Amino acid sequence: MKITIIEDDINLAENLAKILKKSWYMVSIHTSKEEFFNNYKNNNDIFIIDINLAWNNEWFDIIKWIRKNKKIASPIIITSWFNDIEKKIYWLDLWADDYLPKPYSIEELEARIRSLTRREANLRENIIKYKDTLYDLKSKNFISWVDKNIYFTKKELMIVEILLLNKNKIISRNKLITSAWWDYDWMWVKDNTINVTLFNLRTKLWESFDLHTIVWEGYILRE
C-alpha cells in the first residue's frame, strides 16, 4: 500500500514515514503545496494531510485539487492539533474521510488506514466518479456533492444514473423514459412530465454536469 504524507514539519513526517515503512507501507513525503504539485505521481492509496494554520490555504488547495482530479479516488486522513468539534465537522464536510487529532498513537493511525482501505475496496465496486462528484449505485444517491442542500427526486437520480453509466454516449429520450419511469406504463408518460423533470435536473446540476441535448437524437453527458 502506498501512502502520501503532506506535513510541513519534515522531522515529524520522516519519523512517521519510518514507522509506517516498518509495517511494509510505501511512503512519500511532501512538505509544501509547491512540492506536492511538482512531484506527486498519482499512484498512492491514502493521503495523510496535516492541517496547520501557518499553511494559510495551502492545505485547502491540495484537498480541493485531489477531490477534483477524476483520476484520484484515494481517501484522505486529516491530522491536526486543533481538536474542537466545529473544526472536525468542517474538515470532514470538506471532503476528508477521517480526522485524527494530535497527539495520536501509531496503532490508531494504522487501524484507521486499514478501516479506510476496507471501506474503499467495497465502495469502488459501486461508485461512479464524475468531475468532483461521486455517485453511489448501491444507495442510488450522491455521496459527494458541492451543494448538500440540493434535493434530488427519485426520477432525477434515475436519469442521472443512466447518464453517468453512459458517459460520452448519446442516450435517446425513449431510453430515459423507459428507464426512469419503469414503474409506470411509460407509454402514458406525458412529454411535459419529462420536460419538467429534465429542466429541474439541469437547474440543480447547473455547471457541475456537462449535459447537452442532441437534436432529434437525445442527450449526452460529456466528461
Domain architecture of the chain: domains with CATH: 2-125 (3.40.50.2300), 129-222 (1.10.10.10)
Please check whether residue 216 is in contact with residue 202, taking contact to mean a CB–CB distance below 8 angstroms: no
**Which of these, 19, 84, 80, 29, lies nearest to 50 by C-alpha position?**
80
DSSP assignments along 163-202, one per residue: HHHTTTSEE-HHHHHHHHTTTS-GGG--HHHHHHHHHHHH
Mean pLDDT over 145-169 rounds to 83
Name residue 27's amino acid: V
**Which of these, 12, 4, 144, lies nearest to 68 by C-alpha position?**
144
Tell whether the torsion through CA atoms of 201, 202, 204 and 208 is positive or negative.
Answer: positive
User: For position 123, what pLDDT does the model report?
Assistant: 63
111 band by pLDDT with thresholds 50, 70 and 90: very high
Helices (H) and strands (E) counted in the chain, each on its own, are 8, 11
Q: Residue 133: is it exposed, middle or buried by C-beta count within 10 angstroms (0-12/13-18/19+)? A: buried
User: For position 108, what pLDDT does the model report?
Assistant: 93
pLDDT digits (tens, 9 = 90+) for 201-214: 888 887 778 888 89
> Whole-prediction pTM value?
0.57
